[in-house]
A = this chain, B = another copy of it.
Amino acid sequence: MVDLGLTDAQEMLRNNAHRFVQDKCTREVVREIDESERGFSESLWKDISEIGWPSIVIDEQYGGMGSSLTDAGLLFEEMGWACMPSPLHSSSVLSALVLQQAGTADQRQHYLPLIADGNRIVAFAFSEPGYGWGPESIHTQANKVGDKYVVSGTKLFVPDAESADSYLLVARTRATDVSGSGLTLFIVDKEVPGIHVKEVSGWTGDKLYEIAIEDAILTEAQVVGEVNRGYEVLEPILDRGTALLCAYMLGGLQQMADMSVTYSQNRIAFGVPISTFQRVQDMIINIVNDLEAVRWTTYEALSMIDNGAREQDIAEAVSMAKIVASEGFTRGTENAHYVHGGVSVDMKYGLYLYTKKSRTLFSYLGDPAYHKKRVASLMFD
């Protein structure tokens, strides 16, 4: 039966997380990280590792908290509110879930406790120059030669690749067919010859990287899950990762509402607070309408996952949430710029951190066009 409230434990989790980011992840800290070479802060990572955040969705047997996705969502919401840069999503969600789901006992025993402790960061290397999130977008080839795989290709727009110790690498071991199989997952430590990481510069929300792979030799021990059936493992995990990404975007949009309300109440023009102008009110109302749409589509997706809904229904709910979040967060930053006027482009004020983040996450894990196609397929095909 319908229950949209948080438990007491969840309220506490959220309040603690909120206090943490208010304290440790101020706008100044985020700007500093954003302008640092790797877009990564050792000390912040150490702090969140100490309070266990990298372990949130990892099973208890591997030293994780084994929390529900809704609980994890509350953390991501607060991270998004602060615009926190960290490899937590790629390492402790996408890569960790893949290893936990499909890895060998050895792989799990080796990697998961390290990831949970924050002692190892695993970047998630999926996307390529012909950007897309379906299996057909993977062209990096892994050719079997004897008992080895020779891998060549280019991964592009990979976050956290520089700060990572390992990569979760998605490659093609068989030509595309309709079922979307033919992909294989590999776990690769950084030192492998033939792999070169290079920053791709831009006005991006996270630092993004190119991973050029040229005849890198991988072993069978590095294969995660079954050969050629990588996307079957990935798809539900991408959904879970996307739902948490939506929670992060929800937090970012909440910040847009908070900043806009406060600024408009305090900024005086024509002798009155600008919040009393209907034009300014409407910008904020638009933010709040987007906010509530993102909130409830996201919460619904997370709760369906936690409550064990059918994968197909989860897929639809997640795709809908991502469409709403991509559009809502982007539009929300735009409206926040309108509310704030000139100060909104002052780097000191820091609104731009959310602006570029929203535009990067707009496409990450699938843009609205991709997810609309997916929902239409689920509904009508």
Contacts and interface: CB of A to CB of B under 8 A. Distances in A.
A7 interface: no
Interface stretch (A116-124, A197-205, A276-284): A276-284
* Size bin of chain A's contact surface: under 10
Contacts of A279: 278-279, 282
A272 to B, nearest CB: 13
Nearest to A279: B278
A156 B157 CA distance: 52
7 contacts: A277-B278, A278-B278, A278-B279, A278-B282, A279-B279, A279-B282, A282-B282
Contacts of A282: 278-279, 282
Smallest CB-CB A-B distances: 4 pairs:
A278-B278, A278-B279, A277-B278, A279-B282
A4 B279 CA distance: 34
Q: How many copies does the complex hold?
A: 2
A279 B277 CA distance: 9
A280 to B, nearest CB: 9
Contacts of A277: 278
Interface in A263-278: 277-278
A365 B277 CA distance: 42
Interface in A248-295: 277-279, 282
Nearest to A282: B279
A156 to B, nearest CB: 26
A285 to B, nearest CB: 10
Contacts of A278: 277-279, 282
Interface string A323-361: 000000000000000000000000000000000000000
A277 B282 CA distance: 12
A339 to B, nearest CB: 14
A328 B198 CA distance: 48
Interface string A131-153: 00000000000000000000000
Nearest to A280: B278
A278 B282 CA distance: 10
Nearest to A277: B278
A341 to B, nearest CB: 16
A288 B278 CA distance: 19
A335 to B, nearest CB: 14
Interface string A199-216: 000000000000000000
Interface string A277-317: 11100100000000000000000000000000000000000
A364 to B, nearest CB: 28
Interface in A228-260: none
A270 to B, nearest CB: 12
A277 B278 CA distance: 7
A19 to B, nearest CB: 39
A282 B282 CA distance: 11
A282 B338 CA distance: 15
A348 B277 CA distance: 34
A282 B277 CA distance: 12
